[in-house]
Structure 1
Amino acid sequence: MFRFENPEYLYLFIAMPFLVALYIYLNIRKRNDVKRLGVLSTVKRMMPELSLKRSYLKFWLIFAALCAGIFMIARPQFGTKVETVEKEGIELVIAIDVSNSMLARDVTPDRLSRAKQILSRIIDVRKNDKVALIVFAGEAYVQMPLTSDTQSAKLFLNTIDPSLVPVQGTAIAEAIRLGMNSFSGDQDVDKAMIIITDGEDHEGNANEAARQASEAGIMVNVLGIGSVEGTPVPESEYSNNFRTDSEGRVVVSRLNEQMAQEIAQNGKGLYVQADNSNTAIRALESELNELETKKSATLTYSEYDEKFPLFAWILLIILIVEFLIYDKKNPLFKNIRLFR
């Protein structure tokens, strides 16, 4: 795949035909001025050192150099670049609740969107860690296995919505157990989980799962999202209508803060409530920074490889050639007749 990183500079090519037109115009004027001195063939014999063809060639070399320069600053990119990068971090599994109650709007813009914003920030900060993503509602699924390519994790954020898990509920215990199986077997690196949930319709056994994770050396942190007071649950992400129960009453979702605190306590981790500030993120960052890191060399893939150095070399070579060509005939090469 080929692209330009800064395609806006390609608009400079619009000026190139005007540059050619200006050059042609100036040459016509120059010829007319010479004709005033006499017949053109006679004037040429009077100035044997002058070479018009050299002048033309120098212009087209400058023209080609400008074109190469435009391509260079537009940053052409092509193919895939593979690098071996040494990182020093922990292993981190992030499990995010995607149940319908996460559409509630007691945080801006809604619980799920705010959770994704926090998740994106955590991934940016923990860029040296190996990260895995799990989504859960009534069931839990691995959205992305453990990887050091944290930027790929951000790509998965756009696909996270309640439709990923059709079975409703909040199966935190299943998410924790799935997270435990998502870590590597490396005993020399610290491991942590972050559970992002409102705890609504909690199905139990999460405390025991968190205790088992802690005993296995995995710290379980819980990020509670939503308000204790609660708010109605919209029918969909963009709907202003609210869900109702079988008796027609509006469904109100509340953050189960006590449950979230118990899970974090059993998992030897931190509980923090998310709001519209970055307080929760900073608290989690501080907690994760206490863990011991390990160096590891991993392959990272970038979708595009920079090709502008090729055009930089072309530009340099053209300018050197242009500099070496005199406007007049060079006496050192008087016997070499490239320009007649």
Structure 2
Amino acid sequence: MKRKNIARFGNPELVKSLMPNYSSSRPVVKFYLLLAAMTLIILALARPQFGTGTETVKRHGIQVMIAVDVSNSMRATDVSPDRLDVAKQLLSSLIDKLSNDQIGIVVFAGEAQVQLPITSDNIAAKMFLSNISTNMISYQGTAIGSAIDLSLKSLASTSKAGRAIVLLTDGENFEDNAIDAAKLAAKKGIMVDVVGVGTPQGSPIPISGTMSYMKDQQGNVVVTHLNEQMCKEIAAAGKGIYVRADNSDNALRAVNNSLQQLATAPIENEVYSTSNEQFVNLAWLAFFLLLIDMIILERKNKWINQFKWF
């Protein structure tokens, strides 16, 4: 386009002699510099990751299986916002404190399931914890004994590290003998701490997505209560502590202090392999290209042309 405009004034060679500082190459160079810089900025915003970084981690800690009650009664709102959310908030803070330890998660209602096998990845533990809901297990009920048995099987029997099960429930056990399961855990050297969630006064159970409450076969509204007596008996059988969860951090401190009494031991040496973020390098390269583009003028520099470089 520029060549056509110059040709309109006359012979390009003659016009060129009248414009000694004109450069036909510099605008092209500046265009490609700007194009390259914009491309790098777009790539940087995409946050590319490649390459690997390795880190050897030596851990001394304990093994903790967390068993969370996800039965319908955990939707009760006698603690705010509801029992399950209070339990999850407490566990999220507890996981932060167990940074050097191995953690696993079991969920249970009428049956128990492993949500997260024992791991040292606290980030994964919190991610799995956030996904826990009362819709995870279709078979309703409260099988605390099954949850303790499954947690027991999930802990490494050969580990020299202290082992514990932290049980969060409202204590309404209808399916099995939780006390015998806790005694078996204690016999194998595994402490069972119990966190009661709810209040003895209890509350109705909201039905998700409605303004109604669960009712029994006779049409009466079901009121669920925290069974503290059951929780205390399970904790005593498992040689652990019982504490009631509320909106303070008392339960968190009590459980953490209990776990701190367990002996730590080397539990694993892990090598993590991660992808390295490359957006910083691309951003710096784009910055330098833009800087060069600003320095280069579209016309020849008369001051520089005064020097005889060759």
TM-score bracket, shorter-length normalisation: 0.7 to 0.9
Q: Which moved more, 1:317-326 or 1:165-174?
A: 317-326
2-side partners of 1:246 and 1:47: how far apart? 97
Counterpart code for 2:238? G
Match of 1:291 among 253, 257, 262: 262
- Write the mapping of 1:70-89 to structure 2, written as runs, cut at 5 A: 71-72=43-44, 74=45, 76-78=47-49, 83-88=54-59, 89=61
| Alpha-carbon shift at residue 87 of structure 1 (Å) | 5.0
Q: Which moved more, 1:50-59 or 1:89-98?
A: 50-59
Matched positions, count: 300
2-side partners of 1:312 and 1:272: how far apart? 52
- What do residues 279-335 of structure 1 show as CA deviations (whole Å, max 9, x unaligned)? 212222232233333442225476x6522155156447747977997955787865x
Aligned pair 1:179/2:151, yes or no? yes
- Write the mapping of 1:60-71 to structure 2, written as runs, cut at 5 A: 60-61=32-33, 64-65=36-37, 67-69=39-41, 71=43
What TM-score, normalized to structure 1?
0.73
- What do residues 137-173 of structure 1 show as CA deviations (whole Å, max 9, x unaligned)? 2221112211222222333335433333333322211
SS, match of residue 311 in structure 1: helix
2-side partners of 1:47 and 1:210: how far apart? 94
Q: What's the counterpart of residue 6 of structure 1?
A: none
Counterparts in 2 of 1:174 and 1:314: CA distance versus 1, 3 Å: same
Q: Which moved more, 1:201-210 or 1:242-251?
A: 201-210
Aligned pair 1:104/2:104, yes or no? no
Counterparts in 2 of 1:81 and 1:214: CA distance versus 1, 3 Å: farther
Counterparts in 2 of 1:143 and 1:65: CA distance versus 1, 3 Å: same
Aligned pair 1:311/2:282, yes or no? yes
- Write the mapping of 1:107-146 to structure 2, written as runs, cut at 5 A: 107-146=79-118
SS, match of residue 194 in structure 1: strand
Counterparts in 2 of 1:158 and 1:320: CA distance versus 1, 3 Å: closer
Give aligned-pair identity as a percent. Answer: 41
Counterpart code for 2:106? I
2-side partners of 1:249 and 1:237: how far apart? 18
Counterpart code for 1:279? N
**Contact 1:93–1:179 (CA under 8 A) maintained in structure 2:** yes
Match of 2:236 among 221, 240, 265: 265
**Contact 2:146–2:176 (CA under 8 A) maintained in structure 1:** no
Instruction: Please report the RMSD computed on the Cα atoms of aligned residues, expressed in angstroms.
Output: 3.6
Counterparts in 2 of 1:63 and 1:84: CA distance versus 1, 3 Å: same
2-side partners of 1:287 and 1:168: how far apart? 31
**Contact 1:133–1:142 (CA under 8 A) maintained in structure 2:** yes
Aligned pair 1:225/2:184, yes or no? no
Q: Which moved more, 1:198-207 or 1:94-103?
A: 198-207
2-side partners of 1:49 and 1:195: how far apart? 82
Unaligned 5+ runs, structure 1: 1-23, 335-340
Counterparts in 2 of 1:136 and 1:254: CA distance versus 1, 3 Å: same
Counterparts in 2 of 1:255 and 1:268: CA distance versus 1, 3 Å: same
- What do residues 259-288 of structure 1 show as CA deviations (whole Å, max 9, x unaligned)? 111212222222111112222122222322
- Write the mapping of 1:184-223 to structure 2, written as runs, cut at 5 A: 184-203=156-175, 205-223=177-195
SS, match of residue 235 in structure 2: helix
Aligned pair 1:246/2:252, yes or no? no
**Contact 1:87–1:128 (CA under 8 A) maintained in structure 2:** no
Counterpart code for 2:99? K
Q: What's the counterpart of residue 155 of structure 1?
A: 127
Counterparts in 2 of 1:164 and 1:312: CA distance versus 1, 3 Å: closer
Counterparts in 2 of 1:332 and 1:264: CA distance versus 1, 3 Å: farther
Q: What's the counterpart of residue 15 of structure 1?
A: none
